[in-house]
Chain A
Amino acid sequence: MAMTFAKKEEGVYALDVTGYVCPHPQIYTKKALEKLHGGDVLEVTFDNPSSSESVSAMCDSNGNEILEKIADSGKFTFKIKKAQ
């Protein structure tokens, strides 16, 4: 499965990096967030458990708010709001 980036609705985007191992999920998440506008929401889906720690820490240090974290059978979805 390849990395995909799509628009879900106005101001909400989906980044799918399932199947990828470190460091792909955290690097793609970082790059996507850098390009989004302030206030946009990024829903990133991945299934690499260690990336959940890195993405959480990255958001915390950059001031991006994690609105929701969903974990289901090894699949993670983080909804991240880019800081203004």
Chain B
Amino acid sequence: MIAWDQALAAPRDSAPPRPGLAKEALLRGFHPDHAPGAMTGLLVGSSAGQPCPTELAALLHANALIQDVDIAGSVMRDADVLVVGAGGAGCVAALTAARAGARVLLVSKLRMGDGNTVMAEGGIQAAIGADDSLQKHYEDTLRAGHFRAERGLVAAMVSDGPEAIRWLIQQGMGFDLAEGEDRVGGRMLRKKPGGATAARLLSYHDYTGLEMMRVLREAVLLTPGITVLERHPAVELLTDAHGACAGAVLLDMEERRLVLARAGATVLSTGGAGRLHLAGFPTSNHYGATADGLVLAYRLGAALREMESFQYHPTGIAWPPHLAGTLISEAARAAGATMHNGLGQRFVDELAPRDVVAAAILRELHEGRGV
């Protein structure tokens, strides 16, 4: 470790990073996924045998929070569709179901909207430019995912992109237009995301997620047929006689009692797991991102996928302390920012894939060139 003032005094060497280890050796040596004990095989169910981060596996394998006896005599609520999780995805699911005539119960551990969607800054991707196409967006996405993505799923997401932007505008969301362009017929402001061959990042200032989430929240509040229960985390899913999902057990945090939500269909839109602080790292996730949905689904026997693929984003704020864990977007590096170790040297191509950049940072720390 190099002291801060000493590192600050070291001359900034703008020379490109010296060629280091090959990508595979770097990842194997220093990426948190490859640390001894980082992964555990899941033990039971249709996901048995899959590798999974050890901290998450401990939650998946944990005992139930409640027993049958705890739910006896609980208040019962009925709905056609139960949506667990009220971030961006949950609100859109609730709106879609309610507008199709379903009675919807939208439940949230925190408050509606207090999720990752509201925190999104950079933007949302859709191939709308004349120099862009759905095919380009599809290929860029496959390439960025080392061709491990499911092609049909990528094609579906990419194809829905432009229609999703129209839908959001119809709900009342604003988007930035390119400078000097008109609201009718003008061109949208497009930025180029990392790894893309065309500019397709659409945004509203640097708080795209906030603009999106306040529109979705307002739409949910005004749509008849949606009942919102805030501070009602789901603690277990319910099954019918055939083992199919039939709703969820909720915990009413206000009254400290369990509520049974019985539903014809249940949607899990519970978000991620960043707040488990896998391997002890800070996170840019919101406070509620604790893998609840994964645990609920696993316990019901659902097959989990790609449990081993969590992203360790390489850059974030370490100081001042009240901002620790806040994301420093890849846009900073895309705009030309370089990274230097305690000796002032660059040590990795800053625009290499994120797993490589993260592993290189950890190597510098491990070998004593951190600050």
Task: Say whether A and B bind each other.
Answer: no
B→A interface (CB under 8 Å): none
A→B interface (CB under 8 Å): none
